[in-house]
Amino acid sequence: MKKLCFTATTFILVVCLLFACGCTGPSATPETAVKPAESTFQPVSYEDTPVQYSDVNGVSLAYREFGTENSKPLLMIIGWGGDMDGWDTTFIGLLAEKYHVYIYDHRDMGQSTETDAPLTIPMLADDAEGLIKALGYDSMYIYGMSMGTAVLQQILVDQPEMVQKAVLSSASVNANLPETEKLHGELEEALKDPDTPEGVRKETAAILEWDGVYDSLSGITNDVMFITGTADDVTPQSVAVDMAGQIDGSWLVRFKGIPHAGSSYAPEEYAGIVITFLEMDESPA
């Protein structure tokens, strides 16, 4: 099965063509025209959504949840130096219209437990897996951003049965590639800076020490989508293209002119393609 490769402009063009093809009936008169319903969408409010806590692997992980109880679960894994409130509220709100969305703080970050031990990417993957189970699920859709894609890659390799579908946004094999020189420099500077918070310092060391799971990508059979921005100079699109090529049947979406962690810059477009991917039945006819 060939890799599905989209661009944002292509996706929009296809949608436009579908609407054009569907408009073949007689034109509605002013008396019979139906006005489109006004959107009731509202971005989520972190201030109005209580923080909850779950005991996982000897720590307490803080999380918030959005959406209705009977919708499918979607776990969001935040990137380097971020806490759960770093997600764009429009992006999360749009996803929560379709799914039961969980955002959370990694250990040593935000409102989760601070520890004395160093961090590793496999440890953070174990935390995510433990949180899924603690919330009462066997598996979830999972969206990872930046460092969150490293955590998600580790889950896909170690516990693939826990991932219904995976979205990797601004992904990289690891931080030590020639293509990720800027990222590597930023991580090194963070370690040298005495003002870097301890939790961020621990995440920084974990990223630098993680060798990645590149050699195992070809064995992944889960449905996977990569999203990248053509203006991303932290985890350049060439890295995502290479990674997508390793996973048979994976999707690759490139948004023109969007930088690193693009859901903050184009939340509607990112939410749209994520929902399209998650809703798509890719089973053979």
DSSP alpha helices (H): ranges in the chain?
A: 8-22, 89-96, 121-134, 147-158, 181-192, 198-209, 237-246, 267-279
Give the HSE-up count for residue 77: Cα atoms under 13 Å, Cβ half-sphere.
Answer: 33
Concatenate the DSSP letters of all residues of 199-254 into one string: HHHHHHHHHHH----GGGGGG--SEEEEEEETT-SSS-HHHHHHHHHHSTT-EEEE
Output the pLDDT for position 68: 87
For residue 115, the enclosing domain spans 47-279
Question: Quick check: is 174 in a domain?
Answer: yes
Output the pLDDT for position 285: 58
pTM for the whole structure: 0.87
| Edge-to-edge order in the sheet of strand 73-77 | 4-7, 251-255, 223-229, 163-169, 140-145, 73-77, 100-104, 59-66, 52-56
Question: Quick check: is 2 in a domain?
Answer: no
Give the number of domains in the chain.
1
Output the pLDDT for position 42: 83
Contact 247, 217 (CB under 8 A): yes
Residue 110, SS3?
A: coil
Strand (E) or helix (H) holding 141: strand 140-145
Question: Quick check: is 9 in a domain?
Answer: no
Question: Quick check: is 188 in a domain?
Answer: yes
Here the CATH number for the domain that contains residue 123 is: 3.40.50.1820
Sequential pLDDT tens for the chain (285 residues): 444 444 444 443 333 333 333 333 333 333 334 444 455 688 999 999 999 999 999 999 999 999 988 899 999 999 999 999 999 999 999 999 999 999 999 999 999 999 999 999 999 999 999 999 999 999 999 999 999 999 999 999 999 999 999 999 999 999 999 999 999 999 999 999 999 999 999 999 999 999 999 999 999 999 999 999 999 999 999 999 999 999 999 999 999 999 999 999 999 999 999 999 999 987 665
Q: At what angle do helices 181-192 and 198-209 cross, to 10 degrees?
A: 140
Question: Quick check: is 32 in a domain?
Answer: no
Output the pLDDT for position 26: 33
Question: Quick check: is 29 in a domain?
Answer: no
Question: Quick check: is 163 in a domain?
Answer: yes
Token couple for 8? 């944002």
Phi and psi torsions of 131, nearest 5°: -65, -40
Question: Quick check: is 139 in a domain?
Answer: yes
